[in-house]
Amino acid sequence: MGNMVTLTIDGVKVEVSKDATVLEAARKAGIRIPTLCFLKGVNEIGACRMCVVEVKGGKALQTACVLPVSEGMEVITNSPAVRESRKVTLELLLSDHNLECPTCIRNLNCELQKLSEELGIKSLRYPGEKSKSQYDDFSPSIVRDTSKCILCRRCVSTCHDVQSVGVISPNYRGFNTVIAPVYDMSLNDVPCTNCGQCITACPVGALKEKDDTDRVWQALADPEKFVVVQTAPAIRVSLGEEFGKKRGAIVTNKMPAALRRLGFDKVFDTDFSADLTIMEEGSEFLDRLQNGGKLPLITSCSPGWIKFCEHYYPEFLENVSTCKSPQQMFGALVKTYYAEKIGIDPAKIFSVSIMPCTAKKYECQRPEMFSSGYQDVDAVLTTREISRMLKEAGINLNTLPDEDFDEPLGISTGAGAIFGATGGVMEAALRTVYEIVTKKELKNIDFTQVRGVEGVKEATIDIDGLKVNVAVAHGLSNARAVLERVKNGEANYHFIEIMACPGGCVGGGGQPILSSDERWEIDYREERAKAIYEVDRNMPLRKSHENPAIKAVYEEFLGKPLGEKSHELLHTHYVKRELYPVMK
């Protein structure tokens, strides 16, 4: 047992790995130590001082989250000195916080609020001046309100380390410290990818999505508008969480019921256009492979990844698939194909999408996304926003009957559903590409090599003698690693899937937010991904090219994949972006 040490915490003996921290040891021993800045695997910096403990023989209080264990160590977690220190620190944090809890977006899902309840803070002994704050809502995706920021740095570590983007960091020092982009610029003016991972890391309401619910309420209330909605693959395994269901609960058939009751005229499914994406992107891949096109082909579904590529890796823009994302393919078809089909003026259509993603809010406003003659998607709501709307309307997901999506844009396959998890686009594409190339039925359609939480997954797929090297990366630091390998000639891939968010869309920046404590307990991305694959398994059709609605759209409207109409509506090109143009 050379790798284990035994220590005593509050008189309880516990044996842990010698690399463990006191916090880990305490949790193993069932002893709760409060934390605030700690976010497992992301932010372990001992800054907030909430997890202070006494160590026998040590002089000062120590932070359990970063304190390594040692043999025979004696730790006390609830002495009067420890409790007083935590209370004073928390009171100080609250004294520089705007305390607008009931109107805060994170009311009842706030770690600061929970902690002050837990530590019994009933009054503030040290009130005083509040630090100067910034409110930045220029970004189409993310709003910063530093009057609520507790400077825990969870967003900073997420942006720097998890995403390797690093557009926010502490500016100034001492009481004036503020987490902001360089020179206090807006997030809109810096090379932010809009991924929103900072929001899901924030323990308080200092970071939130740009709220678009008002615009949707207005459209729903407007009798002139024909309001359609699409729901992204990952929503069906996360929306239930906002209604008390377990992480990754499947609520696919509750969503149409809920959205109809909210007043949407048609409830469609982005899974449909995910299938369509496979038809186009699979064909594009084969075309590039067979006709000497630019390889590796890199997927283009994730708008956070697209912006990352435009800013940081413009040399790969030609590798990026010309396919629009499923959201935007859907948007383009609704105001053309669908409008024509049901005979409605596309000007009257208000197209809403429910996305796990904050970058989608940005994507729908891009100039490339007006190919129907109108803005193809009018409003994007995150999982959190739609759940707020449902709650406001008194709609409880748990008591609704099961209903189906509307036809034809609500018909989909399992291949569309797995777009929501990392590796899913790759797997869905392989299912279709295999059958197109070989013209034989694919027996085992589960490409498990590309599933799972590992940051970079690689596989070589044998398509009837044609060896295809694929890679899947999720989280932008993993994307960066893959691209660097390709750039340096260390890897030779044909096809790469990149998702901006760790875990793919199930871990998107618009998804329900878990506390640090819960993130310690479960890997929510894994739970949601498991559910996604369960959805896939239970679908009657699991290959995109078998989707009858997709076949119909080609027959009735598009012609063939990569055809003229497809090019006009479903494909685009992205552009190199400067890193800090406003600085010049």
Partner 1 sequence: MEIYRAHVLVCKGTGCTASGSEAVLDAFEKEIEKKGLSKEVKVVQTGCLGLCELGPNVLIYPEGSYYCTVKPEDVPEIVEEHLLKGRIVERLLYKEPDTKERFRSLMDIDFYKKQKRIALRHCGLINPEIIEEYIANDGYAALAKALTQMKPQEVIDEIKKSGLRGRGGGGFPTGNKWQFAANAEGDIKYVVCNADEGDPGAFMDRSVLEGDPHTILEAMEIAGYAIGASEGYIYVRAEYPIAVKRLEIAIEQARNHGLLGENIFGTGFNFDIFLRLGSGAFVCGEETALLASVEGRRGEPRPRPPFPANKGLWGKPTIINNVETFANVPEIILKGADWFSSIGSEKSKGTKVFAVGGKINHTGLVEIPMGTPLREVIYDICGGIANNKKFKAVQTGGPSGGCLPASLLDMPIEYDTLVQAGSMMGSGGMIVMDEDNCMVDIAKFFLTFTQEESCGKCPPCRIGTKRMLEILERITNGEGREGDIELLENLANSVKASALCGLGQTAPNPVLSTIRYFRDEYEAHIRDKKCPAGACKALIHYEVVPEKCKSCGVCAKVCPAGAISGERKQPYKIDTDKCIKCNSCFDRCPFDAIVKI
- The residues of the shown chain that bind partner 1, judged by CB under 8 A, are 45-49, 52, 60-63, 66-68, 81, 84-85, 88-89, 92-93, 95-96, 125-126, 128-129, 150-151, 153, 169-170, 172-177
Question: Rounded CA gap, 87 and 119, in Å?
Answer: 7
Nearer to partner 1, 84 or 117 (CB): 84
584 is annotated as an active-site residue: no
Nearer to partner 1, 92 or 436 (CB): 92
Nearer to partner 1, 153 or 266 (CB): 153
Nearer to partner 1, 41 or 128 (CB): 128
The Cα angle at residue 251 between residues 246 and 256, in degrees rounded to 5: 150
Taking the complex as a whole, the smallest distance from the CB of residue 65 to partner 1 amounts, in Å, to: 9
**Distant-in-sequence, close-in-space partners of 157: CB < 8 Å, separation ≥ 6:** 39, 42, 43, 45, 201
Nearer to partner 1, 60 or 108 (CB): 60
**Distant-in-sequence, close-in-space partners of 7: CB < 8 Å, separation ≥ 6:** 13, 14, 16, 22, 25, 69, 70, 71, 72, 73, 74, 75
Tallying the residues shown for the chain, one arrives at 584
Residues 472, 422 contacting (CB under 8 angstroms): yes
E strand or H helix that includes residue 85: helix 80-95
Which residue out of 351, 505, 516, 544 is catalytically annotated? 505
Nearer to partner 1, 166 or 293 (CB): 166
281 is annotated as an active-site residue: yes
Question: Rounded CA gap, 441 and 431, in Å?
Answer: 9
364 is annotated as an active-site residue: no
Closest alpha carbon to 90 in 68, 75, 109, 111: 111
Taking the complex as a whole, the smallest distance from the CB of residue 509 to partner 1 amounts, in Å, to: 25
Q: Strand, coil or helix: what is 50?
A: coil
Please name the residue that has the structure tokens 């190919």: 371
Which residue out of 209, 242, 284, 310 is catalytically annotated? 284
Give the torsion through C-alpha atoms of 453, 506, 480, 278, to 10 deg.
100
Question: Rounded CA gap, 255 and 260, in Å?
Answer: 8
If phi > 0 it is left, if psi is from -120 to 50 it is alpha, else beta; for residue 446 that is beta
**Distant-in-sequence, close-in-space partners of 234: CB < 8 Å, separation ≥ 6:** 356, 383, 419, 420, 421, 504, 505, 506, 508, 511, 528, 532
Which residue out of 37, 198, 301, 364 is catalytically annotated? 301
Nearer to partner 1, 47 or 354 (CB): 47
360 is annotated as an active-site residue: yes
Which residue out of 241, 281, 435, 527 is catalytically annotated? 281
Nearer to partner 1, 120 or 223 (CB): 120
Nearer to partner 1, 128 or 373 (CB): 128
**Side by side, which strands form the sheet with 62-63?**
12-17, 4-9, 74-76, 52-55, 62-63
348 is annotated as an active-site residue: no
Taking the complex as a whole, the smallest distance from the CB of residue 184 to partner 1 amounts, in Å, to: 15
Nearer to partner 1, 154 or 361 (CB): 154
**Distant-in-sequence, close-in-space partners of 103: CB < 8 Å, separation ≥ 6:** none
Tell me, rounded to whole angstroms, the distance of Cα 370 from its chain centroid. 25
Taking the complex as a whole, the smallest distance from the CB of residue 456 to partner 1 amounts, in Å, to: 23
Which residue out of 363, 385, 427, 497 is catalytically annotated? 363
Residues 442, 434 contacting (CB under 8 angstroms): yes
Taking the complex as a whole, the smallest distance from the CB of residue 89 to partner 1 amounts, in Å, to: 5
Which residue out of 360, 361, 457, 543 is catalytically annotated? 360
Q: Which amino acid is at 22?
A: V
Taking the complex as a whole, the smallest distance from the CB of residue 157 to partner 1 amounts, in Å, to: 13
Task: For the beta carbon of residue 528, count every other beta carbon within 10 angstroms.
Answer: 29
Taking the complex as a whole, the smallest distance from the CB of residue 45 to partner 1 amounts, in Å, to: 7
Q: Strand, coil or helix: what is 208?
A: strand
Taking the complex as a whole, the smallest distance from the CB of residue 95 to partner 1 amounts, in Å, to: 6
Q: What is the 3-state secondary structure (H, E, C) of 340-387?
A: HHHCCCHHHEEEEEEECCCHHHHHCCCHHHCCCCCCCCCEEEEHHHHH
Taking the complex as a whole, the smallest distance from the CB of residue 128 to partner 1 amounts, in Å, to: 5
E strand or H helix that includes residue 94: helix 80-95
Helices and strands (H, E) in the chain, number of each type: 20, 18
Please name the residue that has the structure tokens 């570590």: 157
Q: Strand, coil or helix: what is 297?
A: strand
566 is annotated as an active-site residue: no
315 is annotated as an active-site residue: no
Which residue out of 141, 321, 516, 566 is catalytically annotated? 321
Taking the complex as a whole, the smallest distance from the CB of residue 74 to partner 1 amounts, in Å, to: 16
Taking the complex as a whole, the smallest distance from the CB of residue 171 to partner 1 amounts, in Å, to: 10
Closest alpha carbon to 424 in 246, 311, 576, 278: 278
321 is annotated as an active-site residue: yes
Nearer to partner 1, 102 or 174 (CB): 174
Task: Mark out the alpha helices in 120-212 (DSSP H runs).
Answer: 154-157, 197-201
- Residues labelled catalytic: 281, 284, 301, 321, 360, 363, 368, 505
